[in-house]
Amino acid sequence: MENHNFEDEGKFQRKMTSRHLFMLSLGGVIGTGLFLSSGYTIAQAGPFGAILSYLVGALVVYLVMLSLGELAVAMPVTGSFHTYATKFISPGTGFTVAWLYWICWTVALGTEFLGAGMLMERWFPQVPAWIFAALFAAIIFLLNALSVRSFAEAEFYFSSIKVITIILFILLGLLAMFGVIDFKGSQEAPFFSNLTEHGLFPNGVVAVVSVMLAVNYAFSGTELIGIAAGETDNPQEAVPQAIRTTIGRLVIFFVLTIIVLASLLPMKEAGVSKAPFVTVFDRIGIPFAADIMNFVILTAILSAGNSGLYASSRMLWSLANEGMISKKIVRINQHGVPMRALLLSMVGALLALFASVYAADTVFLALVSIAGFAVVAVWLSIPVAQINFRKEFLKSHSQEELTYKTPFNPVLPYVTISLLLLSMIGIAWDASQRAGLYFGVPFVICSYLYYYLRYKRF
């Protein structure tokens, strides 16, 4: 199915394979949150609580992906959940979802360019961070501007570096846990003793719930499977395969990584360490551990930037395609790239970058809060759209005609909705994330209001 609503404006090219789609979704999730923030998660929720929160987070994202899978296989269109929300919930909802998602990625892009520049200061302390930030921004833009194939290939190799690093970390960590190799600071094999040293929930169950909200955000990026379905060569096979393999590996990577970290680093040390991976690699005796992880985190940031520019440009194109913003943005060039949407998304990322430097306490705080709120809000639209899609589909078709079905329909989508609503309500109990409600809810209301005033419908 193609969803091009304007003729003679170019077409997307289905150049992504299942290999690209798998690495895109996996790489979009594995980022700095896992490499840098995992120690904080352990310190807040306790070792056992951190493991539990990642298991629940993986369950939530899996449920969301089951609903997205049915929609993306039945309608493999660029724009994905924005298009589904427009068709099966309301145009106003689709408009709001698209802008929430666009802001989410453009804010992330701005911070990633700055973060990449700051990482380079370790090796080139005399060069200002903004120079490297500009260089990396140019590289990411060129990768996206050349063709969807060049973007997908770059993302495949960026993601491969992260995945290989995590596999090595898990294998070496398990060997250290069971005393096969030496671990500095431990006289004997720690096994799982650190997991229950301070009790299951040393800071209470509330701390675990608080961490779970952040964990949901850590899993964001998996939904890129849906956005890329419109440029995948065989979405009927590639999308379900990517969902199955990605979710399984996410659980393995995230949960096993947290188990290893929690077992090797005592709770107090995990909270102090800014880079827990570096600490573990260093104690195992890996030479140049800090430099190796600095390089891996740099590739993680560039990978996220690569995916983010792709996702935000396609979402902007989808808004234009649905007639919600200027038709001029819908143009696709001969390489299958929506160049105008790509340029506008890059401008948005650069504005977010400037805001992060010059207005961190005002404009940037609002943008980051909306971005954090946006992930759960966007995910919430997916099972709602799937429920309504199934109702519409069954009016003229049989259930057997669906190539990919969300299991236990409609019970499972309603369970997904309940868990996501609980996450949104739970934000109010976490002071560090409460700003997401303060800025996110008014943004949603303003988006609906603007759409109604312009189009006289919701």
Does the structure show a pLDDT above 80 at 2? no
Work out the angle between the directed axes of helices 235-264 and 18-29 (0-180°, nearest 10). Answer: 30
Closest CA to 318 of 151, 143, 84: 84
Domains of the chain are 18-455 (1.20.1740.10)
Lowest model confidence (mean pLDDT) among 12-16, 68-72, 147-151:
12-16
pLDDT at 76: 86
Each residue's pLDDT tens digit, 15-53 = 787 778 777 777 667 776 677 667 777 888 888 888 888
Q: Give the dihedral sign, CA 107/110/113/115.
A: negative
Average pLDDT, the chain: 85
Q: Is 180 helix (H, G, I), strand (E, B) or coil?
A: coil
Each residue's pLDDT tens digit, 156-181 = 888 888 888 888 989 998 998 888 88
Check residue 189 and give left, alpha or beta (phi > 0: left; psi -120 to 50: alpha). beta
Each residue's pLDDT tens digit, 248-284 = 777 778 888 888 888 888 777 776 556 788 888 888 8
Does the structure show a pLDDT above 90 at 96? yes
Q: How far apart are CA 236 and CA 431, in angstroms?
A: 43
Token pair of 276 as six digits: 């827990």
Closest CA to 366 of 263, 302, 446: 446
Task: Decide: 154 and 306 in contact? Cβ < 8 Å.
Answer: yes
> Per-residue DSSP letters for 133-192?
HHHHHHHHHHHHHH-HHHHHHHHHHHHHHHHHHHHHHHHHHHHHHTTSS--TT-SS--TT
pLDDT at 446: 96
Q: How far apart are CA 63 and CA 305, in angstroms?
A: 26
Does the structure show a pLDDT above 60 at 1? no
Instruction: Calculate the alpha carbon distances from 73 to 235, 299, 334, 412 in Å.
Output: 6, 31, 26, 18
Q: How far apart are CA 446 and CA 458, in angstroms?
A: 12
pLDDT at 272: 58
Lowest model confidence (mean pLDDT) among 128-142, 204-218, 313-327, 381-395:
204-218
Q: What are phi and psi of 168, to 5 degrees?
A: -60, -40
The more confident residue out of 307 and 40 is: 307
Q: How far apart are CA 325 and CA 320, in angstroms?
A: 5
pLDDT at 417: 95
